[in-house]
Amino acid sequence: MTTTTILDDLKKKKIHALLKEGQRVDGRALDEPRQLIIDTGVIPKAEGSARVRLGDTEVVCGVKVQPDKPFPDLGDRGIFICTAEILPLADPAAEPGPPGEEVIELARVVDRGIRESGMVDLKQLVLEKDKSVVGIFIDNSVTDYDGNLFDACSYASVASVLSCKIPKYNYADGVVTKVEGEFTAPPITTVPVSVTMGKIGNNIIVDPNADEWACMDARITITTNEAGNICAIQKGGNNGFTPEELVQCGKISIATGAKIRDMLKKAGRS
Amino acid sequence: MDDIKRKYVIPGDVITTGPYRAEENVHLHGDKIIATTVGISEIFDSGVRVIPLAGMYIPRIDDFIIGIVKSHTSLSWELNINSCYAGILPAQDVFGRDFNPKVDDLTSRLKTGDLIAARVANSDRSRDPLITIADRDLGKIEEGELIKISPSKVPRLIGKRGSMIQTIESATKAIITIGQNGFVVVSSEEPEGLLKAMEAIKMVEEQAHVPNLTERIQQMLGSNSE
Amino acid sequence: MGVKKTDIVLLDDKGIRCDGRKINEPRRIMIKAGVLKNANGSAYIEFGENKILAGVFGPRDVHPKHLANTDRGILRCRYHMQPFSVGERKNPAPSRREIEISKVIKEALEPAVMLENFPRTVVDVFIEILQADGGSRCAALDAAAVALADAGIPMRDMVSACAAGKVADTIVLDINNEEDQEGQADMPVAYMPNLGKVTLIQLDGVLSPQEYEKCVNTALEGCKIVYEVQKKALQEKFFGDSQ
């Protein structure tokens, strides 16, 4: 659905003309993300939650923590699942019903970035090996669409997990009981940050808005960890990047990611 | 103006009771006249109406509008005219009576994403409204920037006898084309004038219900240029 | 705290309910109109612990086309709960409960919306429950009605909804989650306050004819309180401080 936006031709021409001068339609620098506002704890009934506004893209994210059976081949690890959905009220083109391929890609890219960074140490979430583990279920719901859902959902997920409280569980004789009122912080090892860049002509721009998203040639999402390493990549769009551009994108994602990481950490603590 | 009673209303508000004619955006329930939309109610002579502050554009014959080409078939273009109905621009309107779908390629004249200045040729809600660009000053818009405002606020942007729009144009040196459907195109030689004009238009949209808006806009434009 | 459910005192001898309210007192209600950028109209409501977002699109083209009605517009409504909105994570696919609630909300709004003005179109109402508490269908309706007005869709009247019920043998206004679980009856009601018409009523539980009458009247009092909050939300959005 995100590609069905019909951009009027004058706007498209303006985006291209401005980029030739090194400028963007909304006055940002090429490597500058939009304003990021993070509120955590917005859904008290969820163990962790956040509302993120990236420009005019808005996401509400909730984390549910509950005991579950481990995956058969991963008996020594807790469960971590991250989903994303574009709510039909977020965009006139979005429709209720089973998710399309773009929404499924969105959910998988957000999940992969956080999972591959090893943000949550899942080995610490085992109640009884092969029998019972703690599951962390992260659900992102996009409530307003203005491009770049990848980063907005990723930031919402990370902020929700950082602010999340893990209830204490006891396991005895196959029965899990929740200890009321006792919580621990989640076992965090690093704070992953995804940075999505669009390619329009020969320009690389960070955090494309909906208008830029509708006319870009290709995009790439790079997730970096706290040590400044790259831990997940997804390229999309029907054009390509040169190897030099890929190196440039890697550098941008590390530099931009570092600034956003500080904001995520701050939001996660409050 | 003084003998017209104005009031802010929301749907369901009883504007008055008694022997009045129910005009636009109100309905009669018993002897109550009730608002059906958010807006400003007016009681004048023996009639009652509400000037809406929100809502879709409903095409009316002869309206000047701005449309965005959405798609085309072999016989016509489909336009986004910011309404609940898509506008239909028949190929004959552009190619003339000799139009031949086997020979003439519609995209050679207008393609998806193009903006056009147009008029509503026919509209009766039972069919998608027919659009025409066969007149002077109509056709493809080659330059400028599109802003979308609520169609209900177009009269405010034009102002009494065009006073508002003249105020903005003369203070910013921008050229502003206003479609009745809420699509507005602004163009200017100077980027600064363009930005100021767009700012003024947004201010009209946000404060459409505020009295003395023209003076406020004058003030805003005046203080900015000094 | 270790309090077992059976230990909850739903109504004490001073007439105070388990959350500290009096019998005819609603929970805290806050509504904000126009909270979304893309939707034609929108509203956010907090009603007790309910947190609900409603967005309206339309009137617009109907897809699939065969659903279109040549005489009048159609209204579609979706009530949907977020997976994190309840204690145990909810499967995001719509449940039978959500589908039924979507239907009754649609039928509660339909008498108000002047669909005859827009043949061949659809008005879509999307309701997302971000956090659920007792009485979420009423709160959802309240937000949806404000979102419709925010979209400028012609309406004969507002639609205001509130529940009443029976708790500890007493008729009380606005049932919360505990009262819903432990109480004797729950009756959501939606009402067009200026036309005096009830557009939604349901009942779970047993009431005597006298209690039934009292329960309806109590719920209608609640609807009137909600109506004032809805009005305020729209006035704030459209008229700001120039009132």
Q: Tell me the mean pLDDT in the region A4-32.
A: 89
| Dist. CA A92–CA A103, nearest whole Å | 15
CATH architecture of C21-239: 2-Layer Sandwich (3.30)
Cis amide bond preceding C64, omega within 30: yes
Answer whether residue B59 is part of any domain.
no
Q: Report the pLDDT value the prediction gives residue B45, as an integer from 0 to 100.
A: 83
Query: What angle do helix axes A243-269 and A149-162 make, rounded to 10 degrees?
Result: 40
A60, A62, A145: residue with CB nearest C38: A145
> Taking Cα atoms as reference points, which of B93, B51, B52 lies closest to residue B75?
B93
Residue of C195, C238, C242 to mutate when probing chain B, most B C-beta within 10 A? C238
Q: Interface pTM (ipTM) of the complex?
A: 0.90
> Which phi and psi (to 5°) does residue C39 adopt?
-70, 150
Q: The domain spanning residue B39 has which CATH number?
A: 2.40.50.100
The answer to whether B80 faces chain C, any CB pair under 8 Å, is: no
The answer to whether B191 faces chain A, any CB pair under 8 Å, is: no
Does residue B185 sit in the same domain as residue B162?
Answer: yes
| Dist. CA B9–CA B11, nearest whole Å | 7
- Burial (CB count <10 Å: 0-12, 13-18, 19+), residue B98: exposed
Q: Report the pLDDT value the prediction gives residue B102, as an integer from 0 to 100.
A: 85
Answer whether residue B122 is part of any domain.
yes
Q: What is the tens place of the pLDDT at every residue in A101-142? A: 999 999 999 999 999 999 999 999 999 999 999 999 999 999
Q: Report the pLDDT value the prediction gives residue C4, as an integer from 0 to 100.
A: 46
Put simply, the answer to whether A180 touches C126 (Cβ < 8 Å) is: no
- Check: CB of residue A57 under 8 Å from CB of residue A146: yes
Mean pLDDT of chain A: 94
Q: Report the pLDDT value the prediction gives residue A94, as an integer from 0 to 100.
A: 86
pLDDT tens track of chain B, all 226 residues?
Answer: 445 678 999 999 999 998 899 999 999 999 999 999 999 999 988 899 999 999 989 999 999 999 999 999 989 999 999 999 999 999 999 888 888 888 888 888 999 999 999 999 998 877 889 999 998 889 999 989 999 999 999 999 999 899 999 999 999 999 999 999 999 999 998 888 898 999 999 999 988 888 888 888 988 888 544 4
Edge-to-edge order in the sheet of strand B32-35: B14-17, B32-35, B26-29
Q: Report the pLDDT value the prediction gives residue A3, as an integer from 0 to 100.
A: 38
DSSP H helix total and E strand total for chain B: 5, 16
Put simply, the answer to whether A144 touches C37 (Cβ < 8 Å) is: yes
Does residue B125 sit in the same domain as residue B150?
Answer: no
Cis amide bond preceding C92, omega within 30: no
Answer whether residue B58 is part of any domain.
no
Q: The domain spanning residue B170 has which CATH number?
A: 3.30.1370.10
Q: What is the tens place of the pLDDT at every residue in B181-213? A: 999 999 998 888 898 999 999 999 988 888 888
The answer to whether B53 faces chain A, any CB pair under 8 Å, is: no
Complete DSSP assignment for C1-54: ----GGG--SB-TTS-BTTS--TT----EEEEE---SSSSEEEEEEETTEEEEE
Host domain of residue B158: 145-225
Q: Report the pLDDT value the prediction gives residue B203, as an integer from 0 to 100.
A: 93
Q: Report the pLDDT value the prediction gives residue B210, as an integer from 0 to 100.
A: 84
Q: Report the pLDDT value the prediction gives residue B12, as an integer from 0 to 100.
A: 96
| Dist. CA C2–CA A180, nearest whole Å | 8
C59, C231, C243: residue with CB nearest B84: C59
Which secondary structure element, helix H or strand E, spans residue A54, and what is its range? strand A48-54
CA distance C195 to chain A (A): 29
Output the furthest CA–CA distance in chain A (Å, rounded): 69
- The topology (CATH level 3) of A35-269 is Ribosomal Protein S5; domain 2 (3.30.230)
Does residue B135 sit in the same domain as residue B150?
Answer: no
- Check: CB of residue C174 under 8 Å from CB of residue C188: no
Q: Is A225 left (phi over 0), alpha (psi -120 to 50) or beta?
A: beta
The answer to whether C32 faces chain A, any CB pair under 8 Å, is: no
* Domain limits, chain A: 35-269
Q: Which stretches of chain C score pLDDT less than 70?
A: 1-7, 241-243
Edge-to-edge order in the sheet of strand A218-224: A203-206, A193-200, A218-224, A230-236
